[in-house]
Amino acid sequence: MRKRFTVPGKIAVEVAYALPEKQYLQRVTLQEGATVEEAIRASGLLELRTDIDLTKNKVGIYSRPAKLSDSVHDGDRVEIYRPLIAEPKELRRQRAEKSANK
């Protein structure tokens, strides 16, 4: 991974949150050693989107699951995931039944 920030002791991180109708991508500057939670809080997304609840929404770094206490590194993209509306297995079953009835 390339370094993206050249100020000693500082890192640049992106925080992403996507909805079907809109995507949010905020770039934040943090101290080295900052956590996923600190990046999310610094992004301001918690104030913009009151539907984000860090006790319920899962998070990740570049599509890999992460904990709020995990460290972020220069150039990381922290992602906040929306809760699943339906279980993928159940959706596949419903689609299979629907196509079988055609």
DSSP 8-state symbol, 73: -
Number of neighbouring beta carbons within 10 Å of residue 4: 14
Establish if 3 belongs to a structural domain: no
Residue type, 31: Q
CATH number at residue 71: 3.10.20.280
Q: Which pTM was predicted?
A: 0.79
Establish if 15 belongs to a structural domain: yes
Establish if 16 belongs to a structural domain: yes
pLDDT, tens digit, 9 for 90 and up, residues 27-70: 999 999 999 999 999 999 999 999 999 999 999 999 999 999 99
Considering all CA atoms of the chain, what is the largest pairwise distance in Å, rounded to the nearest integer? 63
Query: Based on the structure, what is the number of domains in the chain?
Result: 1
Domain that holds residue 84: 10-100
